[in-house]
A and B are shown apart, each in its own frame.
Chain A
Amino acid sequence: MERTVAQSSTPQGRYTLLPSRYSSEDILFCIDVDTESLVEMKVTGPNGRPITRLDSIKQAILLFINAKLSINPDHRFAFATLTKSASWLRKEFSSEVESAMAALRLLSADSSSGHADLTQLFKIAYHEAKKSRAQNRILRVFLIYCRSSIRPQHQWPVTNQKLFTFDVVYLHDKPGPENCPQKVYDALVDALEHVTEYEGYIFESGQGLSRVLFRHMCILLSHPQQRCLQDLIDIPKSLTKKSPTADSAPGEENPAASSQ
């Protein structure tokens, strides 16, 4: 499968930083607003108020955008939603945080959609990607999907012209007899491999924990032109002293490496 390989790895996957193209990103968030986005996360918010997947997603996106802009204030963001198909929520790419916050306030769940077709999303992305490239930028589509039984479909042709990178975060229920999150995940992986220009990343979680979602979002800060293969991801590394110190403060968190 032809895919643009990031320049910054030796064949063994060791990190190198050779002079290469470095484009600012246009990132198109596509958020699934099917009723399943209203499933509650495991941990409640302040005052015991339940937090839905959509609440966590909004906060995660804000975290992502703030971090991305700290890294490079030239990155830009736009927003779409997914019901049966994709439609624009905020079309203009902008690097203003306030603009993103305003768009996220408009985000609300829809009724149950039945099916999910990604064709329109890819069409939109393809069209926008051409505009991005004309400005020496690259386009990334960032899909956040919430349905545990509905496999997304698409009719995107096989093409050598892969103009955008595709990342996915998949939040789902624990697998059971009534659902098929594994099948959904496989369909998302297929779609990703079908369309993505640079290495795309896909993360899934059925645990219902916001911090897991935030962690995945942070890894997804990775710039597509500088990524390694997903199997070789080695971040986040733990910021702990290499040698044990005699006077660790009591109550300090266990510095064992996180296993997620």
Chain B
Amino acid sequence: MAIDTVPPLIAAQLNYLLSHSPLPIKVEQMWSGSKNHGLLDRFTLVIPFCLDYIRWDVIYNALYPLAAPDIIFGPEDESFHPYHTAGGEGDLKSPNKSLSDWNCKDPTRLLSLILELRELYMTYQRKRVGGVEDERVKFELSTIVPREGIEMYMSSGIEKTEEVKFAVPLLGVDINKMVTGCPWRHQQKIFLQVIFPVGKKYMSAPSAPRLKLVDSPELKALFSIEDFRLPPWLDGMCMAEYLPILEGLLQSQIVDAVSSIDVRRKFIVALAPLFGRPVEADPVFCRKAAFLTSSGVFTFLHFNPSGAPIKSSIITEFPWSPRWESSEMAERFFDFLVEECLNFKKYCNESLLQQR
């Protein structure tokens, strides 16, 4: 991003937003409002919402740096009018106030404006979902309302069928706290995305909604949701019944994932007497450790024609058994690698001969 052609006050607000936002907001594109000055005073923000993204254009004017920006919402949201909130004059969170009191020199302003608008957008979507003429969706909504942190979204395209999407945060536990030495900057969470089609008729045996688990980006170091199979949605179930079952299963898998960290830790430590101290190991998730060993006199060092050292391919088949204690595992692993090392040496020698 060519930050140096962005006017400084705008850059300060945008940089503050990008580095301090509690949500991973990104800039998709930047452009200039005028051919004459060419300064980048407009950009599109990609804002996470309901496990998807909404795009809002932020329109500054480089010629009027003191003025607050305009925000242009997506084409489906023509009925979103945050300036006409019921709160009115007394509502401190009204964007009216943020915009009328705009301070261009305060780098925090853009972020607070965007977050306020996002809150209002959530309320707007909630109203839309609430207004849907679908008994089943209405029922689900009523049972789910007490849960905190739910986002919902109604998609309405002229071509598409209407759908209501719920993003439900799972597990009241703080996953970050479960990991000793946790390096995560953001709170890690797992969400269930539930999508119901909107229809006018009430069906006596409504079909299961579309379900998907979504996790925050860094969680995979601890636990991979790809490996988790969703429990079946039985006939006649509703979210209020399904969620506790799902959460119970997830909880126990996460607890297992946390205790497997220490199993891996023990294994790495068991390798050290045989392989020497690792040159580098991941001390928090214990998923990686690198060891330096030698075979014979340290003479062979092979480079391929572009000058890079030759590496073996990744070994996926190696002796392993859950019954082995970590020290026995380490010894078998060591013996296996002694063999592999000889094979690799042969391979290097052969490729060297071929190069000549």
User: What is A's interface to B at a CB cutoff of 8 Å?
Assistant: 7-8, 15-22, 59, 62-63, 66-67, 70-72, 97, 101, 211, 214-215, 218-219, 221-223, 226, 228, 233-241, 252-255, 258, 260
Chain A residue nearest to B280 in the complex (CB): A223
| Also in contact, A20 and B290, with CB within 8 A (given A71-B279, A235-B279) | no
Residues of B within 8 A of A17 (CB): 265, 268-269, 281, 283, 286
Residues of A within 8 A of B276 (CB): 234-237
Map CB proximity to A onto B100-140 as digits: 1 under 8 Å, 0 otherwise. 00000000000000000000000000000000000000000
Contact A72 B292 (CB under 8 A): no
The one of B280, B293, B303 in contact with A71, judged by C-beta atoms closer than 8 angstroms, is B280
| Also in contact, A72 and B337, with CB within 8 A (given A211-B298, A237-B294) | no
CA distance A238 to B334 in the complex (A): 11
CA distance A18 to B242 in the complex (A): 39
| Also in contact, A235 and B277, with CB within 8 A (given A16-B269, A20-B283) | yes
Residues of A within 8 A of B308 (CB): 62, 66, 97
Number of interface residues of B (CB under 8 A): 43
Contact A239 B295 (CB under 8 A): yes
The one of B181, B272, B294 in contact with A238, judged by C-beta atoms closer than 8 angstroms, is B294
User: What is B's interface to A at a CB cutoff of 8 Å?
Assistant: 179-181, 183, 265, 268-269, 272, 274-284, 286, 288, 290-299, 301, 303, 307-309, 311, 334-335, 337-338, 341-342
In angstroms, how far is the closest chain A Cβ from the Cβ of B192?
A: 30
Chain A residue nearest to B345 in the complex (CB): A253
Contact A253 B181 (CB under 8 A): no
Contact A66 B309 (CB under 8 A): yes
Contact A211 B183 (CB under 8 A): no
Residues of A within 8 A of B288 (CB): 71-72
11 contacting pairs across A/B (C-beta < 8 A)? A17-B286, A20-B284, A97-B308, A222-B280, A226-B280, A226-B283, A228-B277, A234-B276, A235-B292, A235-B293, A252-B342
CA distance A237 to B271 in the complex (A): 11
A66-B311, A253-B295, A255-B295 given; 6 more Cβ-contact pairs under 8 Å: A8-B283, A19-B181, A59-B303, A228-B277, A235-B279, A241-B335
Residues of B within 8 A of A67 (CB): 309
- A-B pairs with the 6 shortest C-beta distances? A19-B181, A253-B296, A235-B276, A15-B272, A237-B276, A236-B294
> Which of B274, B276, B283: most chain A CB closer than 10 A?
B283
| Also in contact, A239 and B294, with CB within 8 A (given A17-B286, A62-B308, A63-B309) | yes
> Which of A20, A22, A211, A258: most chain B CB closer than 10 A?
A22
CA distance A214 to B297 in the complex (A): 12
In angstroms, how far is the closest chain B Cβ from the Cβ of A135?
A: 11
